[in-house]
Structure 1
Amino acid sequence: MDKRGSRRKSSKRAARAARAEAEGKRDYSRVKTWFKRIALWGGGVAVLGLVFLAIAVAFAARSLPSYYQLKATQNAQTIVVRARDGSELVELGPSYGKWITSDEIPQVMKDAMIATEDKRFHSHFGVDPVRLTGAVIEGITGERSRVGGTSTISQQLARNVFLNSNRTLDRKLREAVLAMALEWKFSKDQILELYLNKVYFGGGAYGIDSASRKFFSHPATELSVAEAAIIAGLVKAPSRYSPTADVDAAVGRAGVVLSLMREQGKISASEARVDVSAVKLKQETGTNSVRYFTDWALPQLDLLLPETFEPIEVWTTLDPGMQKAATAAVAGNAPEGAQGALVSLDRDGAILALVGGTDYVETNYNRATNALRQPGSSWKLFVYLAALEAGYTPNDRVVDTPVSIGGWSPKNSNGRNIGETNLRTAFAYSINTVAAQLGNEVGFSAVASMARRFGITTPINTYPAMVLGSNEVRLLDMTRAFAAVSAGGASVEPYGIVKVTTGDGELLYQHERARSTQLVPDHVARGITDLLQTAVQTGTGRAAQIGRPVAGKTGTTSSNKDGYFVGFSSGVTTGVWMGRDDNKRVGGLQGGRAPAQAFAAFMRYAVKDRPVEEFDTELQLPEWQMDEEDDFFFGDPDDYYYIDEQGNLIEPGRNDEPGGALPPQGGEDGFGSEDGMRPRQQGQPARVPGQRQPPTGRGADGAPQAIDDDFLDGVIGRDRPRPSPTATRSPD
């Protein structure tokens, strides 16, 4: 029984083993079958993919431009900027240098580039399988499907010529197809020649000849081992390894290139030990201030021209000699640690010189056109323009005395008051409280309106302190305003581009002079010129004297943070600003010192070939502002009737008629004039101390008058008191 049971158990185990073996054979057969199917399908897909790839490469190769067309293709627009005399100021955009053929390219340059960028260049078919495998793995596992460090020289050429620099998997696939198409259509020597003449090396230099001339001041045919290593090292990161930006980084990268060349047997051990740091680099000019001008002017081409990618020449208003003089004047007079800016305009608004800082390479921020800084007392130009338009004259008497306007009490820097003086002296010595009282009398909003009228484009508040220059402005705008005064009160529109042509001379744009409008009456322009001239002759702007008539105004902000001087002579208007970018105090900075001195240094050169021009300051006042004695016994029709803005005949004193009266002319904060100025009716001038005023048509009791008070006073010889505004003196 035991034996029979044992045999039965053995038999069962054998059966089970047989069944397991049979099942294993069946599973193996199934797996083998699936592997065969996968291999067959995979092979089919691969063959099909290769067919499609071959077709894509073939079509791409057929559509590629010819070798000579690729040689002639530029990657971007070249802009040549010319001065007003036609000389070249600067060439912007890509620079391609001379095309160097394969036979002319030094072998060491070829070896350096191949060793650095594509060591299997001569053995692959446009795509390096080893690098491609790495690309696929990185494309699957990397962040945002970015693929890097995989491109062969052929792929880089395809990207530079036909594609953008987006490092996505899709772009890499198209790049690979184009690279194989290039290899299909062109020889290795042709591909390497195209690459070395088109690859970007930084600083606007495309191709080895442009790079060699930019960095070493000689053509690429004369490249040494060390120089070739520097250039080859730039391709990875042109801005990071540029020898003009970081010499140490460039030398370090060149050492890596030499090591790679040594490992690949391209150079000997002694050549690999060459002292790269001894390479003589071309010196970059640190104060290329022309770029401040081009940074302002060239963006305007987007508005002036239709879209074009062909090389163009931009003819500008800039005077090369004046630009150099302006650069030297700013750099030579700016206090230590401070920046400076200068703008100079011709009488038609043409920009003759523009400096946005002391060193463009150090900082390209344009302080002449972009910086918003307080102009200090140079803002008083608008205060006095408003006062002159309201009826004041340079000889009017004013009083320098402490004043308070709505709790604001401006002070003079010397803490003193001089008492009675005239408007001319108050302006020349920049007396603060005179400006405050004038602004209060004519209205702070009227001052703001005058600034807008003369070209100030920045926001303007109308708090009382605005009369002393608390609003931030651009130097270009302030210079434009003074240029309008120089033009007799006519508007001036700054411009920098005269014309634009193609490289073949075809005219694309021609500047047309902007229509000029009269901003203020002639007598106001002459009056303010009188004041500005006195400020330079005897006032705070004496440092701006140049041996011929000059009119201008200084400006200094609190704690000496900003220094301003703007003025004109012989048709040239120049504005100068100095200060720190962080708005910290500059010791000893005043508008009447460094800025005025820089103005004088520049203007001596700017006007040396221009005739001396005397200023027209003779006042020809309008009838309503003539001396009172002239009209005492004859009367004036305007004393009794006038026409309002709607053309209605209005009798003075009839306030119920349209346009019969205007509210008191104080600031927008409601502060009226302290001299008890009466409401000014439409069509009548503002009350002016020391001048006869048009009558109101009403008596002291408010009843209509048949005869005005001035006429009665003249007949009976009665003297009437004439109040004066109060003011204060400030050195700037």
Structure 2
Amino acid sequence: MARSDIRRSAPNGRQPDKAAPSGWRRFVRRLFVWGFALALLGALALAVAVGLTARTLPSYGQLKTSQAGQMIVVRARDGSELFAMGPSYGKWLTYEQIPAVMKDAILSTEDKRFGSHIGVDPIGVARSFYVRYKEGRFKQGGSTITQQLARTVFLNNDRTWSRKLREIVLALALEWKFSKDQILEAYLNKVYFGGGAYGVDSASRKFFGHPGTELSLPEAAIIAGLVKAPSHYSPTADAQAAVDRAKVVLGLMQQNGAIDASQAGAVDFKAIKFAAEAGQNSARYFTDWALPQLDLLLGENTDPIEVWTTLDPKLQAAATEAIKANVPGGAQGALVSMDRDGAVLALVGGTDYVTSNYNRATNAVRQPGSAWKLFVYLAALEAGYTPNDKVVDEPVTIDGWSPRNSGRTFAGQIDVRTAFTYSKNTVAAQLGNEVGFSAVAGMARRFGISTPISTVPSMVLGTNEVRLIDMTRAFAAVSAKGQAVEPYGIAKVTTTDGRVLYQHESKSGQVLVPAYVSAGITDMLQSAVSIGTGRAAQIGRPVAGKTGTTTSNKDGWFLGFSSGVTTGVWMGRDDDKPVGGLQGGTAPARAFAAFMKTAVAGRPVEKFDTEVTLPAWQLEPDDEANLSGNPDDYYYVDEQGNLVNPGTGNGARTPEPPPPDAGPNPGGLEPVGPPPAADQEFLNEATGKTKPGP
């Protein structure tokens, strides 16, 4: 029975069908098939991406010339290099020129399987992820030298997956397009080693003072060790840290068979001589002032450029020495010197840039003392005074303020020239009061003073704070016969291949005061140096200038010009404490003379134009001059029918002071009102609105 059942269940002798595959087996099979298909598709896509990327890569020649960041070479007036900013690239070394120890050191440290991978090292990547799994963070990088080159040349250091994917594609494309020797050559000429040095040659010159072709084994180990953390292991920052890292590099080289134990043991790091760090010099005060102007002159620009400045190295050295040799102990000094067109020839912002890079020539604001009288007398000359007019040096009180002369004496009746020559405070106060303190402030604004100006009576003695470069600019305008002078420090900007991006154009400045005013003030400035307070500034040729000393000898100034060169000197303490014996006519004037002897040595002697040719309105009295009585007691009608008060004394007209709430006008000058025509009582009587009293 059983047999018949068996036979019936398998007719014709056929075996029963096999059981159908389970669901799990079907899933695995499909996963394998789809995975293989996707991997194949991904590989195909990657190959296409790499191929397209390789076609868009620059040629090797273009790759060599590409740079990371903007390099700026700053040149002096004579074309000599002052210093370079940004990345520094040394000479390009070919694969054959790079020492074998350098190539072995970098391969042992950064990519020991460089010769066998295709741009990406799967073993290195796996190791990186394994360490990530164990440590909880990426502690080891899996990037090959080719990937690092791709990142250096084409990408940035963002830690994103998209950037990493682009890095891999670029690395594969680089391996596709270039040989291993070319990739290693490019890497060693472009990788960053710290201190602004890109490439082996630049690093060798910076840290050891010789070309990269002369690197020894310990030096190569030090440079190779910098790639991991350039700022941390830099010899200029921490020499011991650099040596300790180099010992690790030697160990890796020994492990990889690049050197043997005897070679590693023979290395003596104590014999290594690191190159001295290039010291900062006073020219950095100048470049700190001038280079920020590039943003305005060029706008957005990333090309490597050369900036040709107006700085004269010989004069800069003379200025630095003049300040150091004359500044009192514990004090600071600053100097600015300009050519007749405003080109800054020398600029010193302190006694030592290394210990203090604060620029006292362009940033510090200090009281100018009597040097401010330049603007008082300019305003007086413009109002009608002449150097020969008589004034009285006597006690005076203005709104409760009583100025005193330095010697506490009074000379009585003297002329304007003498009052300026010997810096009489009482006369300056009287002149300022007569022409109007707002007129003095307006004159200072006109000549380039950019700091706030108060119009209290004491302002005539220099209580407003100013910058040295602004005061020097004002004296330069006087030297230019009353024409405005704009200081500038950049003459030309070019690309490294010679293409001109910017060229300074000198233009005639705006006329600030009439010729007779500039001639008159030059006359008085020359007298101040010849026989007055500035005698220490004499240099054996015509010099015009003015001293300035503030209360308790806190500041000393001398500003003047000769043969087209204008120079300003300031000395004092940063904490504003008194400096014993400091006066404008002592140390500052001596520093001025020491510098100017060099500055004008190659220039012809120039005599000043001090002949004052007065305008017709001062030379020809009008018909009312014959009227009897005091001229201050009558009024006359001008051509427009306005009643005018001719003013008081020497033909000077007295401007009306501005109202207390009046602010500066849009042009930046303090408002200077016209001469008052008459008081309201007189006008009412003249127009018949009121009748005169008995």
TM-score, normalising length: structure 1? 0.76
- Alignment-derived partner of residue 187 in structure 1: 179
Separation (CA, whole Å) in 2 of partners of 1:253 and 1:320? 41
Separation (CA, whole Å) in 2 of partners of 1:148 and 1:454? 64
Per-residue Cα deviation, 1:647-704 (whole angstroms, up to 9, x for no partner): x3435479xxxxxxx996347659xxxxxxxxx995x6x9xxxxxxxx9799999977
Separation (CA, whole Å) in 1 of partners of 2:220 and 2:416? 71
1:181 Cα offset (Å)? 2.4
Counterpart check, 1:207 vs 2:199: yes
5 Å-filtered alignment, 1:576-595, equals 576-581=569-574, 583=576, 586=579, 588-595=581-588
**Distance verdict in 2 for CA 1:650–1:146, change over 3 Å:** farther
Q: Is the 8 A contact 2:434 2:654 kept in 1?
A: no
- Alignment-derived partner of residue 164 in structure 2: 172
- Alignment-derived partner of residue 296 in structure 1: 289
**Distance verdict in 2 for CA 1:182–1:518, change over 3 Å:** same
- Alignment-derived partner of residue 313 in structure 2: 320
Q: Is the 8 A contact 1:262 1:272 kept in 2?
A: no
- Alignment-derived partner of residue 638 in structure 2: 642
Counterpart check, 1:156 vs 2:148: yes
Separation (CA, whole Å) in 2 of partners of 1:411 and 1:137? 85
1:615 Cα offset (Å)? 2.2
Separation (CA, whole Å) in 2 of partners of 1:403 and 1:150? 85
**Distance verdict in 2 for CA 1:248–1:601, change over 3 Å:** farther
Q: Which runs of 5+ in 1 are unaligned?
A: 1-28, 655-661, 671-679, 687-694, 705-732
Counterpart check, 1:494 vs 2:490: no
5 Å-filtered alignment, 1:345-494, equals 345-400=338-393, 403-410=396-403, 421-494=414-487
Separation (CA, whole Å) in 1 of partners of 2:233 and 2:419? 59
Separation (CA, whole Å) in 2 of partners of 1:156 and 1:187? 16
- Alignment-derived partner of residue 215 in structure 2: 223
1:198 Cα offset (Å)? 1.2
1:418 Cα offset (Å)? 5.6
* Identical amino acids, percent of aligned pairs: 66
1:105 Cα offset (Å)? 0.7
**Distance verdict in 2 for CA 1:240–1:502, change over 3 Å:** same
1:212 Cα offset (Å)? 2.1
Name the aligned partner's letter for residue 472 of structure 2: T
Name the aligned partner's letter for residue 489 of structure 1: G
Q: Is the 8 A contact 2:392 2:427 kept in 1?
A: yes
1:584 Cα offset (Å)? 5.2
1:477 Cα offset (Å)? 1.8
- Alignment-derived partner of residue 713 in structure 1: none
Separation (CA, whole Å) in 2 of partners of 1:440 and 1:272? 86
Name the aligned partner's letter for residue 377 of structure 1: S
| Higher deviation after alignment, 350-359 or 45-54 | 45-54
Separation (CA, whole Å) in 2 of partners of 1:425 and 1:197? 70
Counterpart check, 1:613 vs 2:613: no
Per-residue Cα deviation, 1:214-270 (whole angstroms, up to 9, x for no partner): 333322111122322333333344455444455555445445544544555544456
- Alignment-derived partner of residue 564 in structure 1: 557
Separation (CA, whole Å) in 2 of partners of 1:182 and 1:197? 16
Name the aligned partner's letter for residue 570 of structure 2: W
**Distance verdict in 2 for CA 1:551–1:245, change over 3 Å:** farther
Q: Is the 8 A contact 2:64 2:186 kept in 1?
A: yes
One of 51, 61, 68 as aligned partner of 2:54: 61
1:46 Cα offset (Å)? 5.5
RMSD across aligned C-alpha pairs, in angstroms? 4.3
Counterpart check, 1:343 vs 2:339: no
Separation (CA, whole Å) in 1 of partners of 2:416 and 2:362? 32
- Alignment-derived partner of residue 22 in structure 1: none
- In the alignment of these two chains, the number of paired residues is 645
Q: Is the 8 A contact 1:441 1:666 kept in 2?
A: no
Separation (CA, whole Å) in 2 of partners of 1:398 and 1:473? 28
- Alignment-derived partner of residue 656 in structure 2: 665
1:195 Cα offset (Å)? 0.7
Counterpart check, 1:538 vs 2:531: yes
Q: Is the 8 A contact 2:436 2:654 kept in 1?
A: no
Separation (CA, whole Å) in 1 of partners of 2:508 and 2:644? 38
Helix, strand or coil: the match of 1:159? helix
Separation (CA, whole Å) in 1 of partners of 2:575 and 2:614? 47
| Higher deviation after alignment, 189-198 or 109-118 | 109-118
1:321 Cα offset (Å)? 1.9
Helix, strand or coil: the match of 1:599? helix
Separation (CA, whole Å) in 2 of partners of 1:503 and 1:330? 35
1:319 Cα offset (Å)? 2.4
Separation (CA, whole Å) in 2 of partners of 1:435 and 1:574? 24
**Distance verdict in 2 for CA 1:410–1:652, change over 3 Å:** closer
- Alignment-derived partner of residue 547 in structure 2: 554
**Distance verdict in 2 for CA 1:212–1:493, change over 3 Å:** same
Separation (CA, whole Å) in 2 of partners of 1:596 and 1:170? 65
| Higher deviation after alignment, 411-420 or 564-573 | 411-420
Name the aligned partner's letter for residue 642 of structure 1: D
Separation (CA, whole Å) in 1 of partners of 2:401 and 2:83? 51
1:343 Cα offset (Å)? 1.7
Separation (CA, whole Å) in 2 of partners of 1:148 and 1:438? 79
Counterpart check, 1:75 vs 2:68: yes
- Alignment-derived partner of residue 573 in structure 1: 566
1:481 Cα offset (Å)? 0.8
- Alignment-derived partner of residue 325 in structure 2: 332
**Distance verdict in 2 for CA 1:380–1:651, change over 3 Å:** closer
Helix, strand or coil: the match of 2:547? strand
Q: Is the 8 A contact 1:147 1:168 kept in 2?
A: no
Name the aligned partner's letter for residue 621 of structure 1: L
Helix, strand or coil: the match of 1:213? helix
Separation (CA, whole Å) in 1 of partners of 2:382 and 2:159? 65
1:162 Cα offset (Å)? 0.5
Separation (CA, whole Å) in 2 of partners of 1:138 and 1:531? 82
Name the aligned partner's letter for residue 216 of structure 1: F
5 Å-filtered alignment, 1:85-104, equals 85-104=78-97
Name the aligned partner's letter for residue 293 of structure 1: F
| Higher deviation after alignment, 277-286 or 412-421 | 412-421
**Distance verdict in 2 for CA 1:188–1:663, change over 3 Å:** same
Q: Is the 8 A contact 2:405 2:425 kept in 1?
A: yes
Separation (CA, whole Å) in 1 of partners of 2:379 and 2:312? 35
1:546 Cα offset (Å)? 1.4
